[in-house]
Structure 1
Amino acid sequence: MSKAPFRIAVFASGSGSNFQAIADAVKAGRLDATIELLVCDRPKAKVVERATKAGIPVYTFTPKEYASRQAYEQDILAELRDRKVDLVILAGYMRILTEVLVEAYWGRMLNIHPSLLPSFPGLHAVRQALAHGVKVTGVTVHLVDGGLDSGPILAQCALAIEDGDTEESLERRIHPIEHALYPQVIQDIVQGAIDLDRVVQANNSITDGMNNQ
C-alpha cells in the first residue's frame, strides 16, 4: 500500500451516515486519508447528496442497465484503478460483490456489520440479536472475502442490550459506535497499528491448515 494519506473509495447505497462519519474524520484531521470516490448503485440516494456537498467525486450506476454484476464491477474496478485507490470501504453498500472486486481488492476491502460476528451475519442483524434474546451485541469491522460477513475480523465493539430495547432503539445506539469505530480502524491501518498483510497471511495460514486436514 502507499504511504499516508491513503486513497480510499467508499461504497454506499442509502443515507450514508457511515460515509459522513468517515468524511468528517478526514476533514477534522483524525483520518490521514483522502476520499477519492463515492460509489453508489442508487443515483438518487442521500449519500450522493452528502458526497456532492463535500466536494467528493461520485460514481453512480444503475445495475439493471448491465448484463451482469461482473460487467458493472469491471467498470467500477477501472474507476478505482484510475484513481489509484488503496482501500475500498463498504458503508451500507447493498449489492452482492463478485470475484471481480473481491479478488482485485482482497485484503484491502473493509465492511462494517452491526453485530459481534460471527454471530448474526447477513441482513437484519439487530433484529436477529433481539430475536435470539442475547444480552450483548455490537459492531464488527472485517475484511471482505466474498462470503456472508465471513472475512477476517479487524475490530469489534460491544454494546449491552437493554430491557425494552426495540430494533429501532438498538439501531439508534449502535450507529454512534459505528461512526466512531470505522474511521478509527481505517486510521489504525494507515498508521500501521493494523497490518493488513499480516491479517491476510494469518487467514491464509488458517485456511491452508483446514484444507490440509
Structure 2
Amino acid sequence: MRAIISAIESGDLQARPLIAVSNNRKAAALEFAAAHGVATAVIPTQADPVAADEMLAQALENAGVELVVLSGYLRRLGPRTLARYQNRILNIHPGLLPEFGGEGMYGRKVHEAVIGAGAGASGATIHLVDEIYDHGPIVDRRTVPVHAGDTPESLEARVTAMEPGFFIDTLRRIAAGDLELPS
C-alpha cells in the first residue's frame, strides 16, 4: 500500500487512493494512509463476519471505489463485497499460483513449500479474488529464480523486494487500458 500511494503521489501511477481499510485498529498502514490524506476505516471481522462484510462493502461504495487492492489483508472477503466488486478485487500472492496457493499458504509458508518442492522458480502472482483462497483468475505473474542454497528467508526477501514494483506495474497497465480485467 505504501508503495502504491507513493507511486500515485510521484505521478508514476495515474490513480486515486480513496480509502484504506483494516480489521486492526493499530495497523501501521492506517497511520501511513491518513498521513497521506487517504481516508481510513477499521472494520472488526472476528465477532460478526456478516456485519463486517456489509460494513466493508458499504465503506468501499461510500468512498467511490472502483478497484479494490488487497495489500496485506489476510481475511476472507464476504459475499456482499465479492459480489459488488466481482472481477475488481486484486490480490498479490507471494508465490506462483496455482501451484503454491490455497488456504493456509501465506507468508513464509509459501517459500518453505517452494523450496521443499525443489522448484526452480518462485515469484508473485496478482489474481482476482473470489470466494476461494488464491483461486480467482490470474492477472499476471512475475518470477524470480530459486538459487541453490536458498532458505525460506532468502527466497522470501527476494520475492518481497520484487512485489511492490510488480503491483505498481500491473496497476499502471490496468489504468492505461493495456491490461483489461474481465467484465
Match of 2:176 in 1: 191
Match of 1:211 in 2: none
Q: Deviations over 1:103-157 (max 9, x none)?
A: 1111111000011111110322112111111111111111112112111111111
Alignment of structure 1 residues 1-213 onto 2, 5 Å: 19-64=1-46, 66-67=47-48, 69-122=49-102, 123=105, 124-196=109-181, 199-200=182-183
CA distance in 2, matches of 1:150, 1:132: 20
**How far apart are 1:52 and its partner, in Å?**
2.3
Q: SS at 1:35's partner residue?
A: coil
For the aligned residue pairs, the C-alpha RMSD in angstroms reads 1.3
**How far apart are 1:83 and its partner, in Å?**
1.4
**How far apart are 1:60 and its partner, in Å?**
0.8
> Unaligned stretches of 5+ in structure 2?
none
**How far apart are 1:63 and its partner, in Å?**
2.3
Percentage identity across paired residues of the two chains: 32
**How far apart are 1:185 and its partner, in Å?**
0.9
TM normalised by structure 2 equals 0.92
Q: Deviations over 1:42-100 (max 9, x none)?
A: 11122122212222111012223x43x12111011111111110100011111111211
In the alignment of these two chains, the number of paired residues is 178
Residue type of the alignment partner of 2:36: A
CA distance in 2, matches of 1:71, 1:194: 34
> Unaligned stretches of 5+ in structure 1?
1-18, 201-213
Residue type of the alignment partner of 2:41: Y
Q: SS at 1:33's partner residue?
A: coil
Q: SS at 1:26's partner residue?
A: helix
